[in-house]
Chain A
Amino acid sequence: TQLLEQSPQFLSIQEGENLTVYCNSSSVFSSLQWYRQEPGEGPVLLVTVVTGGEVKKLKRLTFQFGDARKDSSLHITAAQPGDTGLYLCAGGAGNNRKLIWGLGTSLAVNP
């Protein structure tokens, strides 16, 4: 069974701090997606990484896919209250239309 473990589970920081959240597995994934979910809404895709070692930047967010395609990280620079939310990673395995979901990291950025 493929599993994705996210850490930390909860994170509360002050505005302006940097943070990194992790998504780890013992399985290889063909792609890794990161989503952000705000209260009362569905998850919204932030980025998809598909190549081992790939780094993608989205403004203050930096996403990295591990060389072996088993893990990924999300780094936020100078966090802002608008970054508050649940960050979910989801792994894809080839042509299977289903995704394997992590349990998420709940981030609170305090003004």
Chain B
Amino acid sequence: NAGVTQTPKFQVLKTGQSMTLQCAQDMNHNSMYWYRQDPGMGLRLIYYSASEGTTDKGEVPNGYNVSRLNKREFSLRLESAAPSQTSVYFCASSEVKLPSGNQPQHFGDGTRLSIL
């Protein structure tokens, strides 16, 4: 059971280039998330998708777009990369079971992105 799979694991881009980070989960979870993790800033939510067909902005959405391709896949796109977007990006998924509320999030191993 793979859980949450992110590709690529590492990437170096030049300022202005575009790229898409891929994420897929095999746990049949409804909700998926994209975070970035920076030293001293912790995990910050970029976008999330509560269910297939919906996406919402998180704390730091500027410069990013997302696509919930189907229930399994949730991609993050940088249209014009900037050095400030150098970070480690994590995808996560969870199964929301109402009314208990928040459910544990399952994370991938991250994409380490450097923008020169």
Interface of A with B (CB < 8 Å)?
Answer: 30-31, 33, 40-45, 48, 50, 88, 90, 92-99, 101-104
Q: Is the CB of B109 within 8 A of A103?
A: no
* Contacts of B29-48 to chain A: CB distance below 8 A: 31, 33, 40-45, 48
Give Cα A94 to B100, complex, Å. 7
How many cross-chain pairs have Cβ atoms below 8 Å apart between A and B? 64
Q: Is the CB of A96 within 8 A of B102?
A: yes
Give Cα A44 to B48, complex, Å. 19
Chain A residues in 8 Å Cβ range of B40 = 103
Interface string of B81-116 (1 = CB under 8 A from A): 000000000101010101111101111111000000
Q: Is the CB of A103 within 8 A of B105?
A: no
Q: Is the CB of B101 within 8 A of A30?
A: yes
Chain A residues in 8 Å Cβ range of B13 = none
- Given known pairs A92-B102, A95-B101, the reply for A101 and B109 (CB within 8 Å) is no
* Contacts of B7-55 to chain A: CB distance below 8 A: 31, 33, 40-45, 48, 50
Q: Is the CB of B50 within 8 A of A97?
A: yes
B4 within 8 A of A: yes
Residue of A with least CB distance to B112: A40
Chain B residues in 8 Å Cβ range of A43 = 43, 90, 105, 107
Chain A residues in 8 Å Cβ range of B102 = 30-31, 33, 92-94, 96-97, 99
Give Cα A99 to B35, complex, Å. 11
